[in-house]
């Protein structure tokens, strides 16, 4: 098949060669110069560079055409998954279009679908439907309130207020009026946050693994705490809720990353994406199940496209992998984007090497420069670990302890040189 891959997630995470026979398929990667530079040198493929300043699909559509003969557009990143629909449209090839894909990005659209299926999601108000500066007649909740971009990621632009009134008072300030173009307020739901990762194949799960965050993505974005996660054995009831959410939003093929709050009375849908989870979800899942999410996802997507093109590929029955047995795995990433200083020095606790819990540990060296925007990539943060334990509670505890005891001291590079 002639495949155009929108190459946005670093190659070292996706490892496309594990799923795709680059000798059998004609693969073209399109991405920014930095992304194209991370392709393995000897890989048989075409390479197309875009500037990366305008919208992805606009830049890509300017350099590809139907005459190129592409048969599939593959996009595996939250940042351009929906834009791939515009590229398919431009090339006239089958596959999901922009309008069908937006629900995997737009947090209001997905909550509407989940609520319509009778599943609990936070009550919310779409600020895009509110006239700038106008009072909001009735807000159906009281107390803590979240303000966030509807199309956001990495908890950027997310704020917490004591009440809807305070949140709205913040939005009406002229410097915050971007939330009227891309924003929502919603009730703050108390409780631990779960993330559920896996791959769907024709509406059935191939893989499903549940984990509980240690601290929250929001605290990580603020720089106040590391973000960790620990896998756990999900009950049938949890599994049913997760699958109901995926079906409600319409995640049929490909990887998913679902977030759910264990609310005071019930599970509450937070958000879902039709792509692999970030941070170290991919390697921690592989360590625990043997399944590399992108490899499984690419296989599903290629088969789905072959079906659309009327040339089904041979494949066995779908086998579901559900994590039920130990060992259990978790991960931790320590933020550094919030430091004004250029670099940092990391100290890990003395008990760590002898704990038997470390699968992988990477700490930044004093000369490494810290990235200044929110990142969860292990090679861009002060420290990242993959940890294991005999049971769920044990791995959760080691992730929590390391999160509390790892020390990151920022320093200006000049001090060292």
Ligand X SMILES: Nc1ncnc2c1ncn2[C@@H]1O[C@H](COP(=O)(O)OP(=O)(O)OP(=O)(O)O)[C@@H](O)[C@H]1O
Choosing from 186, 201, 296, 299, the residue that interacts with ligand X (CB under 6 A) is 186
User: Can you say whether the dihedral through the CA atoms of 350, 378, 156, 184 is positive or negative?
Assistant: negative
Choosing from 56, 148, 323, 388, the residue that interacts with ligand X (CB under 6 A) is 148
Does position 223 interact with ligand X (CB under 6 A)? The reply is no
Residue given tokens 């093109």 in the structure block: 309
Does position 271 interact with ligand X (CB under 6 A)? The reply is yes
Residue 28 or 155 with smaller CB distance to ligand X: 155
Choosing from 127, 267, 270, 279, the residue that interacts with ligand X (CB under 6 A) is 270
Residue 29 or 242 with smaller CB distance to ligand X: 242
Q: Taking Cα atoms as reference points, which of 97, 42, 86 lies closest to residue 64?
A: 86
Choosing from 28, 155, 176, 322, the residue that interacts with ligand X (CB under 6 A) is 155
Distance CA 390, CA 413 (A): 41
Distance of CA 410 to the CA centre of its chain: 27
Residue 64 or 218 with smaller CB distance to Mg ion: 218
Token pair in block for residue 92: 């006239």
Residue 221 or 406 with smaller CB distance to Mg ion: 221
Does position 158 interact with ligand X (CB under 6 A)? The reply is yes
CA 363-368-370 angle, 5° bins: 90
Residue 152 or 410 with smaller CB distance to ligand X: 152
Does position 275 interact with ligand X (CB under 6 A)? The reply is no
Pairing of strands 321-322, 204-214: parallel
Closest distance of CB 273 from Mg ion, Å: 8
Closest distance of CB 282 from ligand X, Å: 15
User: Can you say whether the dihedral through the CA atoms of 174, 110, 377, 351 is positive or negative?
Assistant: positive
Q: Residue-wise over 69-95: b if at least 16 C-beta within 10 A, else e?
A: ebbbbbbbbbebbbbbbbbbbbbebbb
Could you say which residues in the range 119-138 bind ligand X, by CB under 6 A?
122
Q: H or E segment at 399?
A: helix 392-405
User: Can you say whether the dihedral through the CA atoms of 368, 373, 376, 377 is positive or negative?
Assistant: negative
Torsion angle (degrees, nearest 10) of CA 238, 240, 243, 245: -70
Size of the residue set binding ligand X (CB under 6 A): 19
Does position 193 interact with ligand X (CB under 6 A)? The reply is yes
Closest distance of CB 385 from ligand X, Å: 19
Could you say which residues in the range 254-273 bind Mg ion, by CB under 5 A?
259
Closest distance of CB 412 from ligand X, Å: 29
Choosing from 73, 130, 189, 357, the residue that interacts with ligand X (CB under 6 A) is 189
308: helix, coil or strand? helix
Residue 50 or 260 with smaller CB distance to Mg ion: 260
Does position 258 interact with ligand X (CB under 6 A)? The reply is no
12: burial class by Cβ within 10 Å (0-12, 13-18, 19+)? exposed
Closest distance of CB 218 from Mg ion, Å: 9
Does position 98 interact with ligand X (CB under 6 A)? The reply is no
Q: Taking Cα atoms as reference points, which of 238, 241, 244, 270 lies closest to residue 257?
A: 270
Closest distance of CB 271 from ligand X, Å: 5
Choosing from 188, 222, 306, 410, the residue that interacts with ligand X (CB under 6 A) is 188
Closest distance of CB 157 from ligand X, Å: 8
The reply to whether omega before 327 is within 30° of 0 (cis) is yes
Residue 80's region, left for phi above 0, alpha for psi from -120 to 50, else beta, is alpha
Q: DSSP letter at 182?
A: S
Closest distance of CB 153 from ligand X, Å: 5
Q: List interacting residues with ligand X (CB under 6 A).
A: 107, 122, 146, 148, 152-155, 158, 186, 188-189, 193, 216-218, 259, 270-271
Q: List interacting residues with Mg ion (CB under 5 A).
A: 259
């Amino acid at each position: 098949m002639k495949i155009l891959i929108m190459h946005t997630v670093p190659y070292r995470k996706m490892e496309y060669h594990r799923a795709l026979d680059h000798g059998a398929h004609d693969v073209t990667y399109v991405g920014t110069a930095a992304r194209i530079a991370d392709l393995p040198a000897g890989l048989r493929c075409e390479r197309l560079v875009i500037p990366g300043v305008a919208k992805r699909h606009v830049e890509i559509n300017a350099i590809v055409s139907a005459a190129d003969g592409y048969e599939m557009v593959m996009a595996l990143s939250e940042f351009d998954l929906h834009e791939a629909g515009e590229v398919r449209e431009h090339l006239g090839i089958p596959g999901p279009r922009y309008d069908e894909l937006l629900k995997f990005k737009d947090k209001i659209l997905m909550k509407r679908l989940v609520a319509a299926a009778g599943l609990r999601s936070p009550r919310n108000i779409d600020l895009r439907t509110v006239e700038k500066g106008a009072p909001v007649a009735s807000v159906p909740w009281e107390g803590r309130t979240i303000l966030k971009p509807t199309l956001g990621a990495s908890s950027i632009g997310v704020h917490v207020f004591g009440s809807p009134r305070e949140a709205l008072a913040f939005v009406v300030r002229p410097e915050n009026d971007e939330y009227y173009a891309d924003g929502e307020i919603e009730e703050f739901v108390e409780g631990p946050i779960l993330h559920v990762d896996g791959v769907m194949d024709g509406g059935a799960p191939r893989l499903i693994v549940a984990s509980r965050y240690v601290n929250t993505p929001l605290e990580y974005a603020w720089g106040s705490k590391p973000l960790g996660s620990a896998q756990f054995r999900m009950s049938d009831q949890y599994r049913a809720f997760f699958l109901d959410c995926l079906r409600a939003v319409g995640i049929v093929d490909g990887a998913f990353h679902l977030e759910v709050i264990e609310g005071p009375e019930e599970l509450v849908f937070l958000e879902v994406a039709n792509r692999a989870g970030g941070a170290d979800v991919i390697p921690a899942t592989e360590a625990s199940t043997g399944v590399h999410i992108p490899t499984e996802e690419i296989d599903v997507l290629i088969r789905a496209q072959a079906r659309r093109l009327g040339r089904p590929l041979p494949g066995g029955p779908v086998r579901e992998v559900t994590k039920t047995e130990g060992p259990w795995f978790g991960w931790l990433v320590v933020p550094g984007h919030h430091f004004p200083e250029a670099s940092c020095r990391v100290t890990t606790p003395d008990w760590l090497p002898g704990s038997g819990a470390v699968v992988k540990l990477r700490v930044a060296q004093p000369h490494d420069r810290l990235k200044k925007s929110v990142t969860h990539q292990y090679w861009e943060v002060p420290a990242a670990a993959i940890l294991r334990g005999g049971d769920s509670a044990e791995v959760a505890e080691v992730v929590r302890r390391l999160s509390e005891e790892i020390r990151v001291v920022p320093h200006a590079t000049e001090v060292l040189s």
